């Protein structure tokens, strides 16, 4: 079965490449030094420093593999405006929660770079999927576990 390709913005691509480079050139070396130092202490069978460093090494190697896979299986999206005003990947959108009359600002990105704390939501999330293809002024209803939430798209940048 073919792998599903991730979508990344240019900014997201650079961020992941920087994380990968840091893991390979800094963190890997730091952990290798910690392992060597723990071995120098002697008996590693009951050496918590050694066990901790080996666990961190396993985590780092797993992260490297995960990031390499994302980068290998990703396409960079074009975030330049096409002038249509239609919500698509890479757009920043202001939506209004119709129940609470509160505006929220999100940038629509692929799932690999989604980070709600940074205002980036995935196009696969309930809100992201619901607003895709709509324009400013459109009302969108989103079914969530607690019921239905209604949003109005205020602005698409």
| CATH 1.10.287.180 domain locations along the chain | 6-76
**Which of 57-66, 70-79, 118-127 is least confident?**
70-79
CATH number for the domain whose boundaries are 6-76: 1.10.287.180
Q: What is the pLDDT of residues 80-104, one digit of tens each?
A: 766 678 999 989 999 999 999 999 9
CATH 3.40.50.261 fits 92-156, yes or no: no
pTM of the entire predicted model: 0.76
Q: Are the C-beta atoms of residues 108 and 132 closer than 8 Å to each other?
A: yes
Q: How do strand 120-122 and strand 102-109 relate by DSSP bridges?
A: parallel
Instruction: Answer whether residue 70 shows pLDDT above 60.
Output: yes
Question: What mean pLDDT do residues 121-150 have?
Answer: 92
DSSP letter (8 states) at residue 115: B
The pLDDT of residue 3:
63
**Cβ count near 71 (within 10 Å):** 15
Cα–Cα distance, 69 to 71 (Å, whole number): 5
| CATH 3.10.50.30 domain locations along the chain | 92-156
The pLDDT of residue 46:
77
Cα–Cα distance, 118 to 89 (Å, whole number): 16
Which residues pair with residue 106 across a beta bridge? 93
């Amino acid at each position: 079965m073919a792998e599903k390709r991730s979508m990344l913005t240019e900014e997201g691509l650079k961020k992941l490449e920087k994380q990968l480079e840091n893991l390979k050139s800094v963190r890997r070396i730091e952990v290798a030094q910690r392992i060597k130092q723990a071995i120098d202490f002697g008996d590693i069978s009951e050496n918590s420093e050694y066990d901790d460093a080996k666990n961190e090494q396993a985590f780092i190697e797993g992260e490297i593999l995960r990031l390499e896979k994302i980068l290998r299986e990703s396409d960079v999206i074009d975030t330049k405006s096409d002038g249509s005003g239609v919500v698509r990947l890479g757009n920043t959108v202001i939506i209004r929660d119709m129940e609470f009359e509160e505006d929220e600002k999100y940038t629509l990105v692929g799932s690999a770079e989604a980070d709600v704390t940074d205002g980036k939501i995935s196009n696969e999330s309930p809100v992201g999927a619901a607003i895709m293809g709509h324009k400013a002024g459109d009302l969108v209803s989103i079914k969530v576990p607690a019921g239905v939430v209604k949003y109005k798209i205020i602005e698409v940048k």
